Amino acid sequence: MSKLSSRLLKPIIYLSFSLVAVAGVTLAQAPVGSPAVFGYLDFTAQAKLDAQFLAVPDAKLAGEALKTLTAKPHMASTKEDYETAQYVAEKFKAAGLETRIVPYRVLLNLPRKVSFEARSDAGMMLITGPTPEHVPDQPVGDVYQNDPRVVMPFNGSSGSGDVTGEVVYANYGRLEDFDRLAAEHIDLHGKIVLVRYGANFRGVKVYIAEQRGAAGVLIYSDPYDDGYFKGDAYPNGPWRPETGVQRGSVQYLFKYPGDPQTPGVASTPELPDSARQDPAHTGNQPTIISVPISYHDAEPILRELKGPTVPKGWQGALPFSYHLGGAGVSVHLLSDQDYQVRTIWDVIGRIKGTQSPDDWVVVGNHRDAWVYGAVDPNSGTAAMLEAVHGFGALLKSGWKPKRTVVFGSWDAEEEGLIGSTEWTEQHMQALDKAVAYFNVDVAVAGTEFDAEAVPSLKQFVREVTKEVSSPKGGSVYEQWKLSSGGEAQDSSNTGHPAKAAALGANEDIPVGDLGSGSDFTPFLQHAGVPSTDIGSHGDYGVYHSVFDNYAWYVMNADPTFVYLQEMARVLGLEALHMADADVLPYDYVTYAKEIGMYLEGAQRRKAAGALDFASAQEAARRFLKAAEAARNHQMAPGAELPKLNAALRATEGALLSDAGLPNRSWYKHTIYAPGEYTGYAAVVIPGVNEALEAKNPTLAQQQLAVLTQCLNKAAETLEGGI
């Protein structure tokens, strides 16, 4: 995944404030030795409940769950995938959750055949592939690489075809990389573009190549980014071995995620085929071939390429000088993809609330994997199951939540966030009142905790981590603060979104913004549910390969499973606090201040020119004033608590635009969206900034008007609740 582009926004300063007292009014006085937690009139009882929950998640049980979940390859729609659904459902039922396995019928491709061969200009065969993923010194306990059920390297949503063309190297396949090739007068029509993983979402690489006329795309993992240049490769270390391949979807999820045939509509089993659209005309499917390959297979191609030497920053770690190509090598690509409407299975577990049953707290993780998925995603599944274990213990003690808690095990995330998107689209009306969505995907790739969230929940996440012990000593919060240092983590190849945050004036921990790439996307950016995403990162070079398996995990990430336990506690405590808080613990003051900074950043851009920002800035100031007034009422809510909570929840929804973003109307959020040319990383005030990027002042002014309207609506919503 990728860092935010500095062309789209300036660095953001994240602010936090004391949530204990405002204007001399104390909301929650916690027992001595426990943290003050915003949202509680009296935290004493909740502190005891928290302690009861935190004692339950078990490292050993989490490790056993991870081993079971990763025993077989389990791509979405396979029988092994259904077996994992049954396993998760049994765990939910054992904890006392009302449980259903929910099927959807969605368009998915599986490969019949994927192959390529590369020849020099002289006709010499350079490589035929793909080479099977294999390490010669197979570690003890690693029985995974030779399983015949391991799918060949392929891309979800790839086009089918049989094409031959000269190879051009395009670095990371960013927009600026393709523009550099154009400046060098390198025509891509009919060419095979070779790009390396990193810096943006793989679908963006294919999207731009398709726009520039390429016939196909090869995407390889350069050892500079996640191989031996980083350190020892598996099995001697955590990094990608030479035959390791990063599979992945190239769906244009920045247009819309989910079933390609049903944008905005749930693909339930009852949906008639007549309600499905032709994916060739809906905008989120490539038409050209794309194939992921290893650096073992890329090396002879790169070595033989002619043409100019590459620009500064384009050289990888292979031991020769890289060239742009356009001569030297031609590649024959064959991709035969079997597209069918296939069944996938979400697992939904529910605990009904006693006071506000229509106010849902949704917790989710996807279960499907390209192969075994020990880190991505089943470290998250194992952590979620131990959080469910903790909730089960509370239920057996007689506790019931005030708000309904829903646990979701999503399917087909890897192909395009499909299971979560279809479920969200099916429950849009109910989600109008959902108070939060808490996501975990890559729960444990290493030991360094990190999080992303909407600004209203950034302090909420920090407060939760103060209660959870770290295996390193102290609290998760303390270790997070030590490790963060305010620096964004470049995890373009690890499956964990990079952060784009700077330390605030009070030196608190930076919390990143939500772009896309995991299941929070439909909840926040389509349904307007306040969301967070948590995980822990480390040296992880086997993303989406056969080597992301239980043996790698035990050797490199978390041999005693204590970080699975840590993540279960954080995730569960998020849900527990949101389910039982007296006042919804949203921090709209920070939200409003950040929006003000986003507007300032946009206005400073050269392309902003003569645009009129006055109305938008006035609306942002109004939103800030309303947020400050609402915070005072959150501290001392009085008798109008239900009215206040309803207004607090509706405020996030007020930031949605009914019309959606230009040319991608599925995305409704006016503050955050995945970038059209980043795919994963968040673009802030996207309607405005992307119009500025496109040098379209008319559209930028129109999007400023939309943003102004939403900010005024958000302010009015808060004002109406106090």
| Catalytic positions, written as ranges | 413
Asked if 317 contacts 230 with a C-beta cutoff of 8 angstroms, the reply is: no
Count CB atoms within 10 A of the CB of residue 184: 13
Handedness of CA 159, 160, 163, 168 (dihedral sign): positive
Q: What single string gives the DSSP state of each residue in 264-324? A: TS---TTS-GGGPPPGGGTSSS--SEEEEE-HHHHHHHHHH--SSBPPTT---SSSS--B-
Q: Are 109 and 115 in contact (CB under 8 A)?
A: no
Task: Give me the phi and psi of 507, to 5 degrees please.
Answer: 65, 25
Tokens, residue 67: 């081993």
CA angle (254, 682, 293) in 5-degree steps: 60
Give the separation between CA 208 and CA 210, rounded to whole angstroms: 5
Handedness of CA 306, 307, 309, 310 (dihedral sign): negative
H or E segment at 346? strand 325-351
Asked if 546 and 282 count as a contact pair (C-beta separation under 8 A), the reply is no
And the tokens for 246? 């990063």
Residue 31: CB atoms within 10 Å: 10
Nearest to 151 by CA among 115, 116, 111: 111
- What separation, in Å, do the N-terminal and C-terminal C-alpha atoms of the chain show? 41
